[in-house]
Amino acid sequence: MGRILLLILVILVSQINVQAHTFTIGEHDFFLDGQPFVIRCGEIHFPRVPREYWRHRLQMCKAMGLNTVCVYLFWNFHEWQEGRYDWSGQADAAEFCRIAQQEGLWVMLRPGPYSCAEWEMGGLPWWLLKNDKINLRSRDPAFLNPAVRYMKEVGRVLGPLQITRGGPILMVQVENEYGSYGKDAAYMGALRQALIDGGFDTPLFACNPQGAIANGRRSDLFQVVNFGANAAAKSFETLRHFQKTGPLMNGEYYPAWFDMWGRKHRTGPVEPIVADIDYMLKNRHSFSIYMAHGGTSFGLWAGADRPFSPDTSSYDYDAPISEAGWVTPKFNAIRQVLARGETPPAPPPQNPVMTVKPFELKEAASVFENLPAPVEDETPRTMEFYNQSRGCTLYRATLPAGPAGALTIKEVHDFAWIFLDGKSVGVMDRRRQSYHVDLPERAAAARLDILVEAMGRVNFGREVFDRKGIHGPVRFAKSEVKGWKIYPLSLDAQELASLKFGPGAPGPAFWRGSFQLEKAGDTFLDLRTWSKGVAWVNGHCLGRFWDIGPTQTMYCPGPWLRHGGNEIVILDLIGPRRPEMAGLEKPILDELRPALDFSRAARAGGAFSAGGVPPVIQGSFTSSDQWQEINFARPTKGRYLCLEALDAQDGKQTASVAELDALDAKRETISKAGWKILWADSEEHGDGDAENVLDGQPSSSWITAPGTVFPHRVVIDLGDGAEISGIRYLPGNIKDFRVYVSEMPFGLTPRN
């Protein structure tokens, strides 16, 4: 009888807990337990934080004055192999949410299936790319069926943690910024239904930048808007146009931005952030700071901006909570604003930081001497066709004796080092669309090796369809090279365990060394004497490094180190200048070294000339800050697209453009996968590079340099060319314009 009474008591208590809280969307406010509630949220990605530090980072959020944390799920992090879900260890999303609840934080869940977030393929699994005809982020069954299965799996794991069942999850997002990709409301409806079928009964919402809210919008999804500094009032005005009733909410508020290799470290000033948060609080607008704490893209998870600009492993983001979890001036300023209504708890103590004395890595394992069993193929294909997800691949063939000639490949994703009989003869670089290497004369048949490194897949736009490796054919002296052996180098634990180390060796190699510790703490490994590759400490992959910067150190969390001996392995694809290492107390996030880049960007030479080519259209943009679509009288085919700005909305001499898309004959955006900036008459290097018109990020722009005058022109090389029916322009301040399309580069001389 006693056990029965106890069981009844447990059931009653659990029912009371389920009913303990309610969350609803009212005419003007969110309501928590029937009381108006303003969501003060900050985003943290648990895969970017060592599990041992989850509680510390959540305590930091609470100490900053937040009452909610935004939690992204990355589909590929939980289903890297099709049909095999992982919710354990570092992937234990439910435990992260439970800790958030224990620390007094509510949760906004963003499960995908697409996430973006500068993450490998935006969170989509690589195995989707095995299907030639798949249409990503659409109702194509090849995509939608596995996506729906995943969403239902999310419901199984995290559905019990909804507020309706006593958990911390207030709201759940459907997809992510879909309006920047497509317009199919039925697709959004299918994903909405998948969440409902998976057991989610909390409010469902969609987020978009203000210029994309209308695309794919549904009345049965609550709408929120994403924006950065100085855009709050205008963005909420636009949101209210679509979201007629209910509270206004910001889904992502950007305190700064992420970093890409070879470009300066991004930071954001404190003052406009404080002003925007103050404005939102005074008007009872809810918000989510993206990122409250960025952390680190450990492993090989860092993505790439489009058309291809790989992101750094550091995801510091100049966020209020630093990459290592430290209080920053931005943290204190935001805390001061948020503390006006209630006093937040004190921040937890900073985790210990230490230095590591310089030490040498004395052992090396040459990549060429540690190859797995090959796959044979008549012509080389991309990694996905060999069931390889990421890492590096060595493609090997034989060239007959003969004269010098040019080796060309249609495309390589992403970098390829070319060797003849083990000797380096050149490099190919996707950033520059440079796929040509001159080979010397050969007195005898020679072994041709093409070592390809795959960096993170593009995480935004149509370019997320990003297969890695060689996109053939491979030609030498205009003849196709056939008969290949393909060696997949997955860079996983099994491969590392199989390496055979010896004395140091030149060329691409794994290096190994060790260091002793009396006591473990956080440190920042100094890689300034190394070139390009991947680092592991005690089996934990810290991510990628590259000497061109801006990041010159790698964050190494204390829990991954130990008292006594610690082992480090470095894959350097070029070779170190000195095989040594040290641990610093502070990171180096902003040191660019462009002279070390093996393939530097080069604008076309010569002077611009339309050469008798008439503009396909001329007109005026409006002063609106929304996307503007300009349709040509008829489709025009060409390889080169020029936007010519004649004047500015404000009457000044500076031109700026946030984004520029081209439309195909169906008025759909054309993939920018093969695009590059050929030339710009002027650009403000660092923050205003012309590449910003291609990156898919509304907060970055091509900005012409001070002291230059109109007309301003940017010329884009479309690669294979395209039939263009119009353009989409995201301001920017241009007023009057002309657009030219040509098969020839407007009198300019392209440079490799």
What's the pLDDT score for residue 752? Answer: 60
pLDDT (tens digit per residue) in 681-691: 999 876 788 98
Length of the chain: 752
- Whole-number Å distance between alpha carbons of 491 and 388: 11
Which SS3 state, helix, strand or coil, does residue 664 take? coil
- Please list the residues that pair with 363 across neighbouring strands: 503, 512
- Whole-number Å distance between alpha carbons of 256 and 699: 10
What's the pLDDT score for residue 7? Answer: 41
pLDDT (tens digit per residue) in 197-218: 999 999 999 999 998 999 999 9
pLDDT (tens digit per residue) in 275-301: 999 999 999 999 999 999 999 999 999
Residue of 600 and 472 predicted with greater confidence? 472
Q: Identify the active-site residue in 252, 363, 453, 684.
A: 252
- Please list the residues that pair with 296 across neighbouring strands: 314
Residue with token string 């009872």: 284
* H, E, C per residue of 64-132: HCCCEEEEECCHHHHCCECCECCCCHHHCHHHHHHHHHHCCCEEEEECCCCCCCCEHHHHCCHHHHHCC
Q: Indicate the pairing of strand 436-439 with strand 405-413.
A: antiparallel
Average pLDDT over residues 661-676: 90
pLDDT at 308 over 50: yes
Q: Would you tell me how many other CB atoms lie within 10 Å of the CB of residue 257?
A: 18
Which SS3 state, helix, strand or coil, does residue 4 take? helix
pLDDT at 2 over 80: no
Q: Which residues contact 190 (CB under 8 A, 6 or more apart)?
A: 139, 144, 148
Average pLDDT over residues 587-594: 96
Average pLDDT over residues 160-188: 97
- Whole-number Å distance between alpha carbons of 475 and 131: 26
- Please list the residues that pair with 716 across neighbouring strands: 641, 677
- Whole-number Å distance between alpha carbons of 107 and 103: 11
Average pLDDT over residues 401-414: 97
Burial (CB count <10 Å: 0-12, 13-18, 19+), residue 417? buried
8 A C-beta contact, residue 748 and residue 651: no
- Binning pLDDT at 50, 70 and 90, where does residue 627 land? confident
pLDDT at 5 over 60: no
Residue 486, phi then psi, degrees to nearest 5: -115, 125
pLDDT (tens digit per residue) in 231-271: 999 999 999 999 999 999 999 999 999 999 999 999 999 99
- Please list the residues that pair with 462 across neighbouring strands: none
What's the pLDDT score for residue 686? Answer: 67
Q: Identify the active-site residue in 120, 177, 323, 691.
A: 177
Residue of 744 and 18 predicted with greater confidence? 744
- What's 191's DSSP letter? H
pLDDT at 8 over 50: no
Mean pLDDT across the chain, nearest whole number?
Answer: 94
Lowest mean pLDDT among 18-27, 75-84, 120-129, 522-531: 18-27
Lowest mean pLDDT among 45-59, 336-350, 545-559: 336-350
Average pLDDT over residues 604-631: 92
289-328: b or e for each residue (b if 16 or more CB lie within 10 Å)? bbbbbbbbbbbbbbbbbbbbbbbbbbbbbbbbbbbbbbbb
- Whole-number Å distance between alpha carbons of 101 and 105: 5
Average pLDDT over residues 459-479: 95
Burial (CB count <10 Å: 0-12, 13-18, 19+), residue 34? exposed
- Whole-number Å distance between alpha carbons of 327 and 98: 24
To the nearest 10°, the Cα dihedral for 709, 714, 715, 718?
-170
- Binning pLDDT at 50, 70 and 90, where does residue 398 land? very high
Closest CA to 192 of 148, 236, 229: 148
- Please list the residues that pair with 544 across neighbouring strands: 534
Q: Which residues contact 609 (CB under 8 A, 6 or more apart)?
A: 746, 747
- Binning pLDDT at 50, 70 and 90, where does residue 696 land? confident
Residue with token string 């317009």: 183
Q: What percent of the chain has pLDDT over 70?
A: 97
Active site residue 463: no
What's the pLDDT score for residue 571? Answer: 98
Residue 659, phi then psi, degrees to nearest 5: -145, 150
Average pLDDT over residues 307-319: 97
pTM: 0.92
pLDDT (tens digit per residue) in 553-583: 999 999 999 999 999 999 999 999 999 999 9
What's the pLDDT score for residue 720? Answer: 84
Active site residue 252: yes
Q: Which residues contact 7 (CB under 8 A, 6 or more apart)?
A: none
DSSP of 293-312: E--B--TT-B-EETTTEEBP
Average pLDDT over residues 133-160: 98
What's the pLDDT score for residue 716? Answer: 95
Residue 330, phi then psi, degrees to nearest 5: -65, -40
